[in-house]
Every structure is written in structure tokens, then in C-alpha cells.
Amino acid sequence: MLFTDPKFLFLFLPFSLILFYLMRRYAGGKSTIWFLLFASAVFYGYWSVTYLGLLLGQVLVNYLLSRQLSRSHSMGQLWLGIGFNLLLLGYFKYRNFFLENVGALIGWHPHLTALFVPLGISFHTFQQITFLTDVAEEEDEVPPLPEYMLFVMFFPQLIAGPIVLHSQMGGQVSAVAAGKRPQEGTFGPGFALFCFGLFKKVCLADNLANFVDSAFQWPQHLQFIEAWSAAIGYCLQLFFDFSGYSDMAIGLGLMFGFLLPFNFNNPLAATSITDFWNRWHITMTRFFTLYVYSPLALATSRMASERNVQAFSAFWLCIAGPTLVTFLAAGLWHGAGWTFIVFGLVHGIALTINRGYREAKMRQLPTIVAWLLTMITVLIGMVYFRSQSMTQAHSILKSMFIPGRLALPLWADSVAQRLGLPVTFYSVFRAANFAAHDLFLLLVFAPLAIMLPNPSVRPKEIRPSYRTAFAVSAMLWLTMGWIGEPRTFLYFQF
């Protein structure tokens, strides 16, 4: 079920909310937890009952594993547990990609049926891996089964995050289970945040979709400005889509009285690539930093200091290496494809350069230059991220950086002829659906992306003032006007 689907907005959500509050008041904590689990199961099962079974199975196995780990604290068993989860994820997500590439190497071309990737598997698998690790390292205790299941399956964050750590949510779930008094004043802010996210998704992201989709469908026809517009347009679309989804997830959580961690903090205003990743998909960055980068960097740094490795090699061993490995993994996590791997590589290399620059204590760049460099890097990454193949990505990047021919609108033809300039004319922009309208959208949406507030960072500060009420009603009115056919969230495919 999509958050933008009328069935969700007008049926599932109101009923779940009403029943949740009734159960919490009259039926006690434990039944409330079971009800939320049931609602989440319906939410997920609406898409596929078979894969609901798979999800339940995986959750149960992980629960048993965590019980075992809480007794043994064995690293060997932890690795087995992580291996099990990654294998499951790998099978659904990467099997075909792996077989195709291995096959290409050895000259075998298997006929592979498309495997349906279970919704949200990348997110909830990672969430469960963090719990196994925390339990094995004695950082956390195993709660009763229904509480663990809710931690994984709570429907606001089930499909596309935020990736919640058990330390952030476990206490809140047990408070509900114990029948403690609910927190006051979370519903209003939650609702406002939900409307804000909905607005970003329906009115901003989806309006960019037409142009961006067409541009990336015919990348070989893109001229210089069109290529840049496609990249910028996609970056904006992805930002509004995913931050909108995250706002909705956090808003929904709050409506049920749960505070979930925020995912975005004005990333398009970042002045360094490191800063960017501290502001974009924050819960994913945190996962990779805590569970991949830091342990790896610590191990290599220890090795470097024991063997007295000197400056240059130490940089490669302790900084560049772990960063590149982490971001290759992060890229690959997004999808099974070379474009995702290169996306990860682009960011890994950029981060390594950024860190090297700081380590070498070189002069700090002026803010605007730093911002431009960061944004250009992000856009390059986005082109790979969105393109359907490496060839497409390279064709767009070529139009962006080595245009060769000057692209002009048709009416400038006479001028160009007289001056003898090498010209071609806008093709994608000229087609019926696009042109000035979409360029205008970009010009308006780009500053919006930087100027819009980030209420998900401190949602409880959303006050019930006239201003908020006006903003929420305006956003809802615009949203209802545009809602039409619900488009899937871009991050659902990961």
C-alpha cells in the first residue's frame, strides 16, 4: 500500500488510528502491540501475502538467532547470522545480476526469470542485522517476541526506512506494551509532518517526474542544457520524493505516538561531500558508518600503527580503503547494477579526496565554490544512479561536460548562422510535453529544495499555530488537487 493511495489515506489509516487509540485505552498494552503488528501485516500483505510469509519467517529466524546470541555472545555465530540475512537479501536482489556477470565472464548466458524483490527487504534486513550485532556485542537485550516483531515491521518504516536502531525504538515499544501513559501532543505534529511529506511527494516530486522520465528515456538526444536539467531535475525529484516519504513515515509514527529518527537535513545546501552524507539519508549513513566503516577503519588503523605504516600508505590503508569499500557496499545496496556500483564509487572517491584534503590541512575553499563542487559531484552520482545503463549514463555525462555543439532554441537560428557557430537545437525540450514549463519548474523547485524547512528534525516543535494550520490546509488542498494516479515512491525499488 502506498502512503499516497486513497485506500491508505481514507480507509487504512483512520481505522488503524482509531482502533489503536481505543485498544491502548481499553485493551491494555500487549493487545495494542498485537494490533499494530496485525495492521502492519495487513499493510505489507496487501502487496503480497506470499512475501508477507517470507518476512514473518525472516523475522522469526532472526529472533531465535538473537536469543542464541544473547546467551553465547559468539562472534562466529554473529557472522553466521549476518551471513544468513545477507544471503537472503542477496538471493532476491542480486542473484540475477551476479549470474549474468559471472556468465558473461565464462561465456554462459543463462535464461533468468526476473525475481521479484520483496518490498523493503534492503531496509528491514539491515535493521535486523544491527539488532543481531548489538545483542552479540552486549549492547542490547532481547525483548519479548511481539515487541521485536513490531520494531521490525511497524508499517511507517517497514518499506523504505528510516533505518531504526533498536536502541531508538525498543524503549518506546516496551512503554506501549507496559501500558504506560502515552506521550502528549504527538498527534498534531505528526499529522502536520505527514501532510508536508505528502505535499512534497505529490506536488513537487511527481510534477518533475514526467520530464525526468522522458529525459532519461532518450538520453542520446539530450543537449547541454537538457542534460543538466535532467540531472538537476532528477536530483530534486529524488530529494522531494524520498524526504517526502521520510516525513510521512516519521509523521505517521508520531501519530501513533512513536518518535522515529530523521533522514534528511537540508542536504542540497551541503558544502562538502562529507557534509552531504551527514544530511542525506542520514539513517543509512549511520548504519554504514557504525557497522561497516568504523570497525573496518579501526581494524586497519590498528594494523597500521602496529606495523608503523607511514603517512601515504597509512592514508590508503586507514582512510581511502575503508571509505571506498563502505561506499561500494552502499552503492550496491541501492540496486543490482553497474550504475549503482559506479554511483558508490563516485561518492567513495569524492569522500576520499575530501578527507585527504582535510588531512593535508589545505586551505578551506570559499563556501560557494565548495557548494558548487559538492553539488556537481552529487549530480554526477545521480546520473549514474538514475540511468538504466552505463552507456546511457555516459551519454548524458558527455552532454553535460563535453557538449561539443552549442544548443540553442530555434528562434536563435539566424544569429547562430551569421556567426557560424556549431549548433544543434533542443530536442527533448522541443517535444510537446516539455520546454519552458519544465525549465520553469526547475527554477522554482531548486531554491525550494534548499529553503524548505526540515520539521522532521525536531517534530515536537511544530506548534498548533494559525500559520501551521494555514500551511497544512494549503498543502492538503494542493495535494488533493494533484493526487490523481498514485506514483510509486522511488525508494521502494531498493
Tell me which residues touch other proteins (CB under 8 A): 137, 139, 167, 274, 289-290, 293-295, 297-298, 301-302, 305, 318-319, 355, 358
* Residue 309 Cβ vs other proteins, minimum distance, rounded to whole Å: 13
334, 347, 394, 437: which is the annotated catalytic residue? 334
Q: How distant, in Å, are the alpha carbons of 4, 341, 474, 476 from that of 481?
A: 13, 39, 11, 8
* Residue 138 Cβ vs other proteins, minimum distance, rounded to whole Å: 10
State how far the Cα of 129 lies from the Cα of 458, in Å rounded to an integer.
27
Write the CB contacts of 322 (distance below 8 Å, at least 6 apart in sequence). Answer: 293, 296, 297, 300
Indicate the length of the chain as a whole number: 494
* Residue 89 Cβ vs other proteins, minimum distance, rounded to whole Å: 22
State how far the Cα of 217 lies from the Cα of 409, in Å rounded to an integer.
21
* Residue 162 Cβ vs other proteins, minimum distance, rounded to whole Å: 17
* Residue 324 Cβ vs other proteins, minimum distance, rounded to whole Å: 14
Q: How distant, in Å, are the alpha carbons of 81, 122, 129 from that of 65?
A: 7, 19, 11
Nearer to other proteins by Cβ, of 183 and 289: the residue is 289
Nearer to other proteins by Cβ, of 164 and 397: the residue is 164
* Residue 238 Cβ vs other proteins, minimum distance, rounded to whole Å: 25
State how far the Cα of 435 lies from the Cα of 490, in Å rounded to an integer.
24
Burial class (CB within 10 angstroms; exposed 0-12, middle 13-18, buried 19+) of 83: exposed
Nearer to other proteins by Cβ, of 40 and 285: the residue is 285
* Residue 258 Cβ vs other proteins, minimum distance, rounded to whole Å: 21
Nearer to other proteins by Cβ, of 99 and 292: the residue is 292
Do 100 and 112 contact (CB within 8 A), yes or no?
yes
CA 61 to chain centre: 26
Nearer to other proteins by Cβ, of 355 and 398: the residue is 355
* Residue 295 Cβ vs other proteins, minimum distance, rounded to whole Å: 5
Nearer to other proteins by Cβ, of 96 and 289: the residue is 289
Do 177 and 147 contact (CB within 8 A), yes or no?
yes
Cell of 259: 518518535
Q: Is 124 a catalytic residue?
A: no
Nearer to other proteins by Cβ, of 174 and 274: the residue is 274
Nearer to other proteins by Cβ, of 122 and 285: the residue is 285
Residue positions annotated with a catalytic role: 334
